[in-house]
């Protein structure tokens, strides 16, 4: 039977192979677990910022140093392969889902800051275990006769749906995440209203665990976790994927997923920027579902798109206040292009192995990507909120953003170029 090309993506094909119930359960879990990851990422880094500032000014040193030590959690995804060898890849996948769902429920109880940061750090790191084990099983499963690229498109589609859902929550809260910081509509009853999200979080956690326990698809693969191959010759070029993923996370979670930040750079309406960003994510979804991947990975087309992105981001950062809504539109177009870059990097990450096993390749990509994300985020915060600590960093925020954009572009083009060769 002739294999389908990567452009012929079909939900019906996946649903027919999985059957309706496992298909919708898998789709639900991917969206919800990724949403929990996005929310946890938004909790974790500000918690680390606050702890670092307290340590700098010698305030509550013990507790805040403990919070900073949670950065060690990002080593956890790198241990995925070891855990899989010891306990089995399917068991590790299941446990990772339970940990993410339960930790997100605990965050909803608005525990003291140290516990919020610890639980959010656990979610972020354990999500790396989840996505690496799931992708390995999902791609290599022998009884699901679906082209591997279409399986990956399904995962990326679910991730983008999570971003849209996150946008919806923050749109209702006027850029405030209602799931994390419910507004004090009535200051007198804030101690009660802060727990409103529990009415949503408790059912989400229970449903996620229940579906995973009783209805989550089982996978069958014949390869051993320890199986290796000889991709180490291109390991240097392919390792740029890690940097690109970190740069992508930084750009999204520091600038381009926040309409209020875009409004700050362009002096435009938050509401208009919010609409533009939502449209941008929807356009990305349509592109991924409808445009042939070989068109997007064409080096000439990719180079043109990324040159446009760098140009638009430069204008947005430096003369956004002059260009106004034109700059806001440029930011939305840039968001579309960087999501396409992420799509190509994600596919490359999911279809290669270095001298390591596949599950280790994906988990290492995630772990190292998070390290680069934190590095860029800390450098960026020193150029704005903490510019008074190191004066030399003041005003260099746009430079950090441009540097991350260039790294995303370089890693994408080199990764695609290496794949085509």
Same domain, 198 and 303: no
> What mean pLDDT, rounded, does the chain reach?
81
Residue 343 has pLDDT above 80, yes or no: yes
Provide the percentage of residues in the chain whose pLDDT is more than 90. Answer: 34
**To 10 degrees, what angle do helices 259-266 and 270-290 make?**
120
**Cα atoms in the Cβ-side hemisphere of radius 13 Å centred on 167:** 24
The whole model's pTM is what? 0.86
Residue 227 pLDDT grade (very low, low, confident, very high; cuts 50, 70, 90): very low
d(C-alpha 112, C-alpha 67), whole Å: 12
Contacts of 199 (CB under 8 A, 6+ apart): none
Same domain, 333 and 388: yes
Look at residues 166, 181, 215 and tell me which one is the last residue of a structural domain. Answer: 215
Residue with more model confidence, 22 or 53: 22
Contacts of 241 (CB under 8 A, 6+ apart): 345, 348, 349, 365, 411, 415
In contact, 370 and 123? CB cutoff 8 Å: no
**Cα atoms in the Cβ-side hemisphere of radius 13 Å centred on 362:** 24
Most confident of 70-79, 235-244, 404-413: 404-413
Q: What is the pLDDT of residue 414?
A: 87
- Specify if 6 maps to a domain: no
Looking up residue 341, the CATH number of its domain turns out to be: 1.20.1250
Residue with more model confidence, 150 or 41: 41
Spell out a b/e string for 272-306, using b for 16 or more CB atoms within 10 Å of the CB, else e. bbbebbbebbeebbeebbeeebeebbeeeebeebb
Same domain, 249 and 198: no
In contact, 40 and 104? CB cutoff 8 Å: yes
Q: What is the pLDDT of residue 333?
A: 96
> Six-digit token pair at 306?
């990324």
Which residue range forms the structural domain that includes residue 334? 227-421
d(C-alpha 114, C-alpha 121), whole Å: 11
DSSP 258: -
In contact, 247 and 405? CB cutoff 8 Å: yes
Q: What is the pLDDT of residue 28?
A: 92
Residue 391 pLDDT grade (very low, low, confident, very high; cuts 50, 70, 90): low
Same domain, 44 and 190: yes
Same domain, 345 and 257: yes
Task: Dump pLDDT digits (tens) for 192-214.
Answer: 666 778 888 999 999 999 988 88
Q: What is the pLDDT of residue 349?
A: 79
Same domain, 245 and 300: yes
Same domain, 251 and 149: no
Task: Dump pLDDT digits (tens) for 257-300.
Answer: 888 889 989 999 888 998 999 999 999 999 998 888 888 888 99
Q: What is the pLDDT of residue 421?
A: 59
Residue 143 has pLDDT above 60, yes or no: yes
Contacts of 398 (CB under 8 A, 6+ apart): 317, 318
Same domain, 238 and 341: yes
Residue 223 has pLDDT above 50, yes or no: no
- Specify if 5 maps to a domain: no
Same domain, 102 and 238: no
Residue with more model confidence, 39 or 50: 39
Look at residues 215, 237, 259 and tell me which one is the last residue of a structural domain. Answer: 215
CA 344 to chain centre: 14
Residue 419 has pLDDT above 70, yes or no: no
Residue with more model confidence, 51 or 329: 329
Q: What is the pLDDT of residue 305?
A: 95
Look at residues 182, 215, 248 and tell me which one is the last residue of a structural domain. Answer: 215
Q: What is the pLDDT of residue 97?
A: 94
Looking at the 3D structure of the chain, how many domains does it have? Answer: 2
- Specify if 4 maps to a domain: no
Same domain, 267 and 329: yes
Same domain, 283 and 419: yes
Q: What is the pLDDT of residue 356?
A: 44
- Specify if 2 maps to a domain: no
Same domain, 283 and 197: no
Residue 30 has pLDDT above 90, yes or no: yes
Backbone angles phi, psi at 357, to 5 degrees: -75, 165
CA angle 119, 122, 123 (to 5 degrees): 90
């Amino acid at each position: 039977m002739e294999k389908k090309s990567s452009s012929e993506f079909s939900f019906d094909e996946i649903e027919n192979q999985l059957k309706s119930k496992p298909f919708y359960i898998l789709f639900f879990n991917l969206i919800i677990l990724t949403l929990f990851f996005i929310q946890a990422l938004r909790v974790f880094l500000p918690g680390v910022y606050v702890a670092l500032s307290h340590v700098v000014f010698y305030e509550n040193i013990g507790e805040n140093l403990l919070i900073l030590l949670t950065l060690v959690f990002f080593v956890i995804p790198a241990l995925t392969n070891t855990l899989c060898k010891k306990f089995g890849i399917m068991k590790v996948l299941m446990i990772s889902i339970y940990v993410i769902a339960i930790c997100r429920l605990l965050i909803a109880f608005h525990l003291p800051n140290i516990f919020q940061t610890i639980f959010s750090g656990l979610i972020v790191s354990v999500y790396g275990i989840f996505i690496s084990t799931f992708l390995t099983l999902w791609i290599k499963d022998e009884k699901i006769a679906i082209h591997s690229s279409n399986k990956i498109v399904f995962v990326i589609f679910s991730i983008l749906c999570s971003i849209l859902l996150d946008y919806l929550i923050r749109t209702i809260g006027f850029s405030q995440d209602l799931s994390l910081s419910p507004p004090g509509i009535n200051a007198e009853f804030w101690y009660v209203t802060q727990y409103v999200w529990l009415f949503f979080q408790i059912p989400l956690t229970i449903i996620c665990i229940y579906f995973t326990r009783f209805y989550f698809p089982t996978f069958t693969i014949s390869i051993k976790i320890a199986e290796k191959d000889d991709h180490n010759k291109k390991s240097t070029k392919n390792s740029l994927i890690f940097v690109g993923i970190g740069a992508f996370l930084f750009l999204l979670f520091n600038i381009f997923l926040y309409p209020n930040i875009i409004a700050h750079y362009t002096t435009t309406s938050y509401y208009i920027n919010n609409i533009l960003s939502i449209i941008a994510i929807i356009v990305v979804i349509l592109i991924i579902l409808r445009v042939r991947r070989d068109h997007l990975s064409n080096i000439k087309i990719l180079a043109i798109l990324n040159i446009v992105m760098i140009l638009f981001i430069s204008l947005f950062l430096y003369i956004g206040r002059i260009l106004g809504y034109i700059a806001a539109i440029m930011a939305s177009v840039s968001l579309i292009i960087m999501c396409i870059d992420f799509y190509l990097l994600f596919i490359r990450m999911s279809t290669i192995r270095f001298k390591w096993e596949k599950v280790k390749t994906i988990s290492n990509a995630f772990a190292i990507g998070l390290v680069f994300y934190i590095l860029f985020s800390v450098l960026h915060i020193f150029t704005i909120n903490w510019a008074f600590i190191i004066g030399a960093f003041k005003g260099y925020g746009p430079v950090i953003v441009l540097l991350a954009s260039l790294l995303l572009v370089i890693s994408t083009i080199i990764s695609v170029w290496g794949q085509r060769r």
